[in-house]
Amino acid sequence: MTKDIIKELEGAQTPLYYYDLPLLRETLSVAKSAADRFGYHIHYAIKANNNPRILREVSAKGFGADCVSGLEIERSIAEGFNPSDIVFAGVGKTDREILIGLENQIMSFNVESVQELEVIGELANKHQLKGRIALRINPNVDAKTHHYITTGLDENKFGIMKHELSKCIEIINANEYLELIGLHFHVGSQITDLNVFKSLCLKVNEWNEWFYERGHDVPVLNLGGGLGINYSEPDEEAIVNFSNFFYLFHEFLTVRSHQQIHFELGRSIIANCGTLVSRVLYIKEGIKKNFAILDAGMTELLRPALYQAYHKVELLSDKHTEESDTKEEVKYDVVGPICESSDCFGKDVLLPRLKRGDLIAVRSAGAYGEVMSSRYNLRQELEYFFKE
Ligand SMILES: Cc1ncc(COP(=O)(O)O)c(C=O)c1O
Ligand SMILES: N[C@@H](CCCC[NH3+])C(=O)O
């Protein structure tokens, strides 16, 4: 963050979400050109951040959208995404949400159970609207990430059970309003070990072959998202290595010439473009610990409390260092104001000696930050700052 922006933030109401739009544009360009090299398609996972200003930037670059609710579909269309580039996943789609997808003729329903497929079939029939289907298969690949954000194991609720796939094919074949367009996979989020994606490719190859042998030469293979970022180095690695990621799929996927490869990327696109900016309310020097109490808490950024996730915490106000004659550093538990002991952004965080009013940045908060915020404790509405 440049000095002039920090100056502007000094006078702003906190807590606020700061979004770096030039970095977002650069990230989108890098991701797109890395994907274009292999003719791959990217759908931005709206669930990571559905702020309308962000969505407009993403849709303007020609990305598709990956949605998990009817309202996400409606918002993405309102913010410029083309319905024919929208995919719709989720284990609990309501009839109303399915109808939104059908009426907008989205690219595909990523179907997660036999019953859901039956309901989509009934509604498609009733309204005489085509429902394009991608069957979400649970490939039983360990994403080696936090167990709360692992989705592709047999014990997870996501995807259709292997023994029910033949039944799905029967349902689709029997309904002229259903069309099988593809297979969908997603094994988890914040995956930093690329070998996980290699294992996924090998499973996808098997399933692609399995369907082909049964007469279904599906045009679309959707590999989901999950590419992780480096939370420790938000400046040094502001943009993840999309080239390596896509190259891996190029190397290990066996694809027939007409098949299109799709991805659903959320975190890797938006995480580093967002920072939660907060102010130190109080410093409490305890017996065993020093606490820096911020005006932001788990209500603004839930990830540390929910997944013990690491986010880099930094002092923003540079006037602090100019004024201070020592470079003394102190360890703080950086906590929020919420009545929960898990309301903590970091323990024993080494920071310059803080004082009331200092601005604090909680980095890499662009993905699953604002969207997971809540009004618990009747918190005030979030504020925003967009770097243009
Ligand atoms: C089905 C599906 N697709 C895409 C994503 C986006 O994942 P990420 O933000 O890790 O790229 C998720 C979230 O994990 C998901 O559940
Ligand atoms: N909300 C999670 C990721 C879940 C992704 C959606 N399946 C996080 O903050 O890391």
pLDDT of residue 152: 63
Does residue 266 have a known ligand-binding role?
yes
Residue pLDDT, tens place only, 316-337: 975 555 555 557 899 999 999 9
> pLDDT under 50 in the chain at which residues?
none
pLDDT of residue 319: 55
Out of 67, 201, 339, 344, pick the active-site residue.
Answer: 339
| Torsion region of 377: left, alpha or beta (phi above 0 gives left; psi -120 to 50 gives alpha) | left
* Distance between Cα 295 and ligand 2 center (Å): 24
Grouping H, G, I as helix, E, B as strand and the rest as coil, residue 149 is helix
* CB of 49 shorter than 6 A to ligand 1: no
Residue nearest to atom 1 of ligand 2 (CA): 368
Domains of the chain, by residue range, sit at 3-15+272-387, 21-271
Helix then strand count (H, E) for the chain reads 12, 16
Interface predicted TM-score (ipTM) of this complex, two decimals: 0.99
Q: Which ligand 2 atom minimizes the distance to the CA of 306?
A: 9
Is 339 a known active-site residue? yes
CATH 1.10.1660.10 for domain 21-271, yes or no, is: no
Helices (H), the chain: 3-10, 21-36, 52-60, 70-78, 95-103, 114-127, 165-173, 195-213, 242-252, 267-270, 303-307, 318-323
* CB of 266 shorter than 6 A to ligand 1: yes
pLDDT of residue 24: 98
Q: Which CATH number fits domain 3-15+272-387: 3.40.462.10, 2.40.37.10, 3.40.50.150, 3.40.50.720?
A: 2.40.37.10
Concatenated DSSP letters of 18-86: EEEHHHHHHHHHHHHHHHHTTT-EEEEEGGG---HHHHHHHHHTT-EEEESSHHHHHHHHHTT--GGGE
CA angle 230, 233, 238 (to 5 degrees): 75
Q: Which ligand 2 atom minimizes the distance to the CA of 186?
A: 7
pLDDT of residue 322: 57
pLDDT of residue 2: 83
pLDDT of residue 318: 59
Residue indicated by tokens 């000095």: 3
Residue nearest to atom 1 of ligand 1 (CA): 186
* CB of 159 shorter than 6 A to ligand 1: no
pLDDT of residue 179: 98
- Taking the C-alpha atoms of residue 269 and residue 89, their distance in angstroms, rounded to an integer, is 19
Paired strand residues for 67: 88
Residue pLDDT, tens place only, 123-170: 999 999 999 999 999 988 887 777 776 666 677 788 898 899 999 999
* Distance between Cα 286 and ligand 1 center (Å): 41
Q: Look up the pTM and report it.
A: 0.96
pLDDT of residue 209: 97
* Distance between Cα 264 and ligand 1 center (Å): 6
The pairs formed by 202-210 with CB atoms below 8 angstroms and a separation of 24 or more are 202/252, 203/139, 203/140, 203/141, 204/139, 204/253, 205/252, 205/253, 205/254, 207/137, 207/139, 207/183, 208/183, 208/254, 208/255, 208/259, 209/254, 210/165
Residues touching ligand 2 (Cβ under 6 Å) are 47, 149, 189-190, 303, 368
